[in-house]
A and B are shown apart, each in its own frame.
Chain A
């Protein structure tokens, strides 16, 4: 078997193993080890295991991941989200579907403190869904709006997905974070418009909130939110001004959220312990897959498959649009069975060389990938955000009803995606500003 054939076989075997429920980390790593052995012999295969896992973990830039995770989990456990939603509600509840729009704005703000979509959906789901149901909002709308709003978690910095992309693509984390800001805001506006239109056409979906909210209430609600806003400004101001490295931004952010939690009297030993446990568990689960993806990248590079593929794509004269649409289709298909991290880490070893060879900005590509994998979070049959919300609402709302409600938000996502493709400046404007 030639190197090239070994590479292709490797790709097929990985997909097969993953489908048969072998953990993603194991599928990637084991196939790479065996593949190396086939191509270069046992010494090279063992050498691969010596080089990659340790070096990949012992990594300063990647150490921002556990710190941003911790920051998000502390904010979640100390119920900082409650204040955020309350403030958004006070300001936005006069609109048609005001509570739903408030949960979108609340989620966007929480996204700026947490790096994961699932955490974001869970945080907003716990607070906003019961409130909407109590106000007789349509159950499908209530649950789906939070599932969709959660997907902003990875677009709006900090973002675990973007950090990992940055490592694999060798692109600066701060630039990727800056690139995520406008797509995140666009998504937020897109979702809000969907709600405005739906609730204006059919007011039964969201009966208006009766209680009178005075301007005093509005500013009172803000006083509860200012620590979070200060936290976000401090962390990202420092990061984008170049004062902090991402790890330093994450660590100080986590420390600040502990302090805010303590000041709000929400911090205790149990809460801190749970946040730390979740941080350690998630770090290990993410990194062991990333180690597998790194092994797989090296295996594929030796096999020559990615190089041959990008040569074919270029020779074929595939235009920018075809390349992007092809990627979108691959991601949506994979999104039916895999979680975002899995999709990204499985495909980057193949797609990165192709996009790099085509001269497309890797910052833009990173945001495209993020937007696509986030959409996969709410598409059936595996829509993890929908499952999270289902877990929170229990038997009150059937899962099919949530998926049905989500379709409207996917329409908004397609518009945002089209804008990103038609006007790459939406992504690139901020990162290029600093140059």
Chain B
């Protein structure tokens, strides 16, 4: 069990690492595009397509599992905070189950869609044709890993709440991973 948790957490970290590279590349790509179109009047090809269908999709779905390992998905603590241990456990089990179902559904459907678009070889038509189906796989990969993280948390929850502790969300961190 411990090793399984470690493997999945590690994978979530790798997805997170990919996301931060995407964020950096997106910033650099768009900045260069701005400079080129202002000064040479020749923008980078396919900026809008790359930003929308690769960087954004990756940046939204790939960090999901990592955010869950840090318990930083946004929820409301009001009732949970005042309950005794048993009540806390019951609410946690319910929240984890519902979350797992929802992201399981998303994984399943987005996986089917991704494979379908891969078979079609989905691309956008513009000045240049951009193949965009690979970006689709960010959804099943991101949501699938998140579903796994949730499942492992659910299995452990009856015995301990060590893995449920959270820092307040979207406040700048001092330390990092």
Contacts and interface: CB of A to CB of B under 8 A. Distances in A.
Interface of A: 17-27, 29-30, 33, 46, 49-50, 53-54, 57-60, 62-63, 66-67, 70, 73, 76-77, 116, 118-119, 122-123, 243-244, 247-248, 251-252, 254-255, 270, 273-274, 276-289, 291, 336-339, 341-342, 381-382, 384, 387-388, 391
B101 A23 contact: no
Given A20-B94, A280-B63, A54 B57 contact: yes
19 contacts: A21-B92, A24-B74, A26-B103, A29-B102, A53-B61, A58-B53, A59-B52, A66-B26, A67-B30, A73-B172, A119-B172, A248-B34, A251-B27, A251-B29, A279-B23, A280-B63, A289-B74, A381-B78, A391-B171
Contact of A63 (B26, B92, B101, B175): B26
SS class of chain A's interface: helix, strand, loop or mixed? helix
B56 to A, nearest CB: 5
A286 B56 CA distance: 13
Contact of A281 (B51, B61, B70, B103): B70
B23 A118 contact: no
Given A123-B172, A274-B176, 14 more contacts: A18-B75, A19-B76, A20-B91, A22-B99, A53-B110, A58-B53, A58-B135, A60-B51, A60-B52, A247-B51, A252-B30, A281-B63, A281-B66, A285-B73
Contact of B176 (A23, A49, A66, A270): A270
Contact of B73 (A23, A29, A122, A278): A23
Interface residues on B, range: 35 or more
B9 to A, nearest CB: 15
Contacts of A282: 170
B64 interface: yes
A17 B94 CA distance: 10
A32 to B, nearest CB: 10
Contact of A273 (B29, B80, B174, B176): B176
B67 A281 contact: yes
